[in-house]
Structure 1
Amino acid sequence: MEKMFVGSSKEKFYYHNTLLCLVRALEGKNITIDLRNDSYICGCITTVDGFMNVSFANAVYCDPQGNEFQFENIFVQGRNIRYVHVPETMSMLTIIKNELTGHKRRVPDKKLIQKSRKAKKALRQHMETVASLDL
């Protein structure tokens, strides 16, 4: 199943040039995210946008004092995230490769271009010159 990334050009840049693609690949999985205020949230990630804003479903928020609060849905701004815990059973390199290979632009097969006689002759001469060099 290919997920198509939809967003502004700035969001697409972040997606392809940061580890945002790793976090986005964790959608649908139960993950723990540490926040900047020393609290954390555990739950199922439903969506991640191009600025790493994360939405959780069936989440538990634990504040710095240790109090726990349950939420059906909770939204966390990307700037408040300190750390995303990736499960040890998941290979980060594999996740990133799988996430990004599904989003490469598909280049249609180009027809073979017939080279002119002049271009073929120049290529043949070049190959002969290279073959005659003593390496």
Structure 2
Amino acid sequence: MGGRRRARHSLACFVQALEGQRVVVELRYDTIVRGTLLGADDQLNLQLSEASYQPLQGGQSQADYIYIKGRHVRFIHLPGKLDPAATVEQHRKRVAAAVRQHAQQQAQAAQQPAGRLHKGAQLQFGDATAGGGAVDPAGGPP
């Protein structure tokens, strides 16, 4: 539990709040990647779409998708007109809403007995009304 709480109050939470926005990521060894942030995890591994990749000495390359390991990230340059506090608060509200929705779906699924087997439940094979009768799982008649 402690790790989950720590993750909510870390730099990773702020970077995750930037999902959907254009960012500039500076990597070690003087490489620049620009793109739309699709996702980030707690280790700052980043997923970017519609990205351009440019080493210090070399030509620029385009890619539909780039995955960057967090250990290679030196800086993440933020959009110019970003309000950090509002961005993080919106992200926290989205996450809380998603957690509530998931809990509601799990509660609804637990209340629906149809098609669920419970530990120790007895199974019957065949249809007694069609003259087939029940069949013992061992292979013989009941």
Give the shorter-chain TM-score range. Answer: 0.5 to 0.7
CA distance in 2, matches of 1:9, 1:68: 42
Contact 2:22 2:79 in 1 (8 A): no
**With structure 2 as the length reference, what TM-score do the two structures score?**
0.60
Contact 1:14 1:50 in 2 (8 A): no
Whether 1:43 aligns to 2:35 is yes
Selected match of 2:24 from 21, 28, 32: 32
Runs of 4+ in 1 over 4 A off after TM superposition: 101-106
CA-CA distance at 1:88 after TM superposition: 1.8
Q: For residue 118 of structure 1, what is the aligned residue in structure 2?
A: none
Q: For residue 61 of structure 1, what is the aligned residue in structure 2?
A: 53
Whether 1:83 aligns to 2:102 is no
Contact 1:14 1:51 in 2 (8 A): no
Over the matched positions of the two proteins, sequence identity in percent amounts to: 26
| Residue ranges of structure 1 left out of the alignment (5+ in a row) | 1-7, 107-135
**Deviations 1:48-78 (CA, angstroms, capped at 9, x unpaired):** 1221100111100010114201111110001
Which is greater in Rg? 2
CA distance in 1, matches of 2:42, 2:2: 9
RMSD: 2.4
CA distance in 2, matches of 1:96, 1:33: 19
Q: For residue 20 of structure 1, what is the aligned residue in structure 2?
A: 12
| Residue ranges of structure 2 left out of the alignment (5+ in a row) | 101-142
